[in-house]
């Protein structure tokens, strides 16, 4: 479901119920291994700054779309992590 959005533009909407994140949110799907998560966060914050989707209304966070250990065979190349920040 989120694969086509991986490493694409920032999205602004409500997230699926399975994320347990409520309300309007700026979010981005990062694809790649955990050791690249710091650079994914930098890219996300830069993209949110450029998109200016609204005023943040809470701390940012992340949710694994799949378990990292499920991607041991591919070196976590296909691991998806949802980065988000709640908005007013």
pLDDT number for residue 23: 94
What is residue 63's predicted lDDT score, i.e. its pLDDT?
92
pLDDT confidence of residue 73: 78
What is the signed CA dihedral for 5, 8, 25, 82, rounded to 10 degrees?
60
pTM: 0.86
End-to-end Cα, the chain, rounded Å = 26
Residues contacting residue 1 through CB under 8 Å, at least 6 positions apart: 16
Q: What is the pLDDT of residue 53?
A: 86
- The HSE-up count of residue 74 (CA atoms within 13 Å, CB side) is 13
Residues 6+ apart with CB under 8 A from 33: 75, 76, 77, 79
Chain segment 11-56, per-residue pLDDT in tens: 999 998 988 899 999 999 999 898 899 999 999 999 999 888 889 9
């Amino acid at each position: 479901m989120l694969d086509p959005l991986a490493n694409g533009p920032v999205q602004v909407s409500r997230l699926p119920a399975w994320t347990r994140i409520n309300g309007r949110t700026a979010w981005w799907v990062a694809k790649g291994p955990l050791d690249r998560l710091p650079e994914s966060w930098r890219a996300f914050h830069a993209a949110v700054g450029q998109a200016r989707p609204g005023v943040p209304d809470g701390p940012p966070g992340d949710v694994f779309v799949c378990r990292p250990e499920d991607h041991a065979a591919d070196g976590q190349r296909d691991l998806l992590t949802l980065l988000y920040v709640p908005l007013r």
